[in-house]
Amino acid sequence: MAKVPKPDELAQIEHRPPESPWTETPVEFRPGTYCYGAKPQNIEPVDMPNPRDWNPADEDWKLPENWKQTVLDGMKLRLNRFRSFKLFMDICVRCGACADKCHYFIGSGDPKNMPVLRAELMRSVYRNDFSTFGKMLKKYAGARELTEDVIKEWFYYYFQCTECRRCSVFCPYGIDTAEITIIGRELLNEIGCQIDWIAGAVANCYRTGNHLGIQPHAFRDMIEFFVDEIEEVTGVRVEPTFNRKGAEILFITPSGDVFADPGTYTLMGYMMLFHEIGLDYTWSTYASEGGNFGLFTSHEMMKRLNAKMYAEAKRLGVKWILGGECGHMWRVINQYMDTMNGPADFLEVPKSPITGTVFENARSTKMTHIVEFTADLIRHGKLNLDPSRNDNKIVTFHDSCNPARAMGILEEPRYILRNVCNHFYEMPENTIRERTFCCGAGTGLNTDEYMEMRMRGGLPRANAVKYVHDKFGVNMLANICAIDRAVFPPLMDYWVPGVDVTGIHELVANALIMKGEKKRTTDLRYEPLPGMEEEEEEEEDV
- Positions that interact with ligand SF4 (CB under 6 A): 92-98, 101-102, 104, 115-116, 118, 161-167, 171-173, 175, 177-178, 181
How near is the Cβ of 461 to other proteins at its closest, in Å?
A: 10
When CB distances are held under 5 to 8 angstroms depending on the partner's kind, the choice from other proteins, ligand SF4, none that residue 177 binds is: ligand SF4
For residues 373 and 274, the answer to whether their CB atoms sit within 8 Å is no
Nearer to other proteins, 272 or 375 (CB): 375
Task: For strands 476-479 and 500-503, give the pairing.
Answer: parallel
Contacts of 9-18 with CB under 8 Å at 24 or more apart are 10/452, 10/455, 10/456, 10/459, 11/459, 13/106, 13/107, 13/108, 13/109, 13/456, 14/109, 15/100, 15/105, 15/109, 16/109, 17/111, 18/111
Comparing CB distances to ligand SF4, the nearer of 459 and 532 is 459
- Return the one option of ligand SF4, other proteins, none that residue 351 interacts with (CB less than 5 to 8 A, by type): none
Q: Rounded to the nearest whole angstrom, what is the least distance from the CB of residue 241 to other proteins in the complex?
A: 9
In the list ligand SF4, other proteins, none, the entry touching 276 (Cβ below 5 to 8 angstroms by class) is none
**In sequence order, what DSSP letters do the residues of 209-243 get, joined into one string?**
SSTT---HHHHHHHHHHHHHHHHHHHS------BS
Cβ of residue 132: shortest distance to ligand SF4, in angstroms? 22
The option from ligand SF4, other proteins, none interacting with 459 (CB < 5 to 8 A, set by class) reads: other proteins
- The burial class, CB within 10 Å (0-12 / 13-18 / 19+), for 9 is exposed
Give which of other proteins, ligand SF4, none residue 161 binds (C-beta under 5 to 8 Å, depending on kind): ligand SF4
φ, ψ of residue 512 to 5 degrees: the values are -75, 120
- Indicate which of ligand SF4, other proteins, none lies near residue 67 (CB less than 5 to 8 Å, by partner kind): none
Q: How far is the CB of 208 from other proteins (least distance, A)?
A: 8
163 contact choice in other proteins, ligand SF4, none (CB below 5 to 8 Å, kind-dependent): ligand SF4
Q: With respect to ligand SF4, which residue has the nearer C-beta, 70 or 177?
A: 177
> Residue 83 binds what, of other proteins, ligand SF4, none (CB under 5 to 8 Å, by partner type)?
other proteins
Q: Quote the least distance from Cβ 245 to other proteins, whole Å.
A: 7
C-alpha Rg value of the chain to the nearest Å: 24
**Euclidean distance between CA atoms 220 and 197, whole angstroms:** 25
Q: Compare residues 326 and 333 and give the one whose CB is closer to other proteins.
A: 333
Distance separating alpha carbons of residues 506 and 253, to the nearest angstrom:
14
d(CA 235, CA 519): 8
Please state the closest distance from residue 16 (CB atom) to other proteins, in A. 5
Of residues 415 and 472, the one with the C-beta less far from other proteins: 415
Nearer to ligand SF4, 81 or 94 (CB): 94
Q: Residue 132 CB, nearest distance to other proteins (Å)?
A: 7
Residue 297 touches which of ligand SF4, other proteins, none (CB < 5 to 8 A by kind)?
A: none
Beta partners for 252?
323
Q: What are the φ and ψ backbone dihedral angles of 515, each rounded to 5 degrees?
A: -65, 130
Measured from the CB atom, is 177 or 264 closer to ligand SF4? 177
Residue (338 or 536) nearer to other proteins, CB: 338
User: What CA–CA distance (Å, rounded) separates 113 from 26?
Assistant: 14
End-to-end, the C-alpha distance of the chain in Å comes to 45
Helix ranges (DSSP H) in 131-262:
132-137, 148-158, 166-170, 177-190, 196-208, 216-234, 256-259
Least distance (Å) from ligand SF4 to the CB of residue 181?
6
Helices (H) and strands (E) in the chain, counts: 25, 7
Distance between CA atoms of 62 and 53, rounded to whole angstroms? 9
Smallest gap, in angstroms, from Cβ of residue 49 to ligand SF4?
25
Partnered with residue 369 across adjacent β-strands are: 323
Q: Which is nearer to ligand SF4, 252 or 491 (CB)?
A: 491
CB nearer other proteins, residue 37 or residue 134? 134
Nearest distance from C-beta of residue 538 to other proteins, angstroms? 39
Question: Is the separation of the CB atoms in 199 and 205 below 8 Å?
Answer: no
- Residue 115 near which of other proteins, ligand SF4, none (CB within 5-8 Å, type-dependent): ligand SF4
> What is the rounded distance in angstroms from the CA atom of residue 88 to the CA atom of residue 174?
9
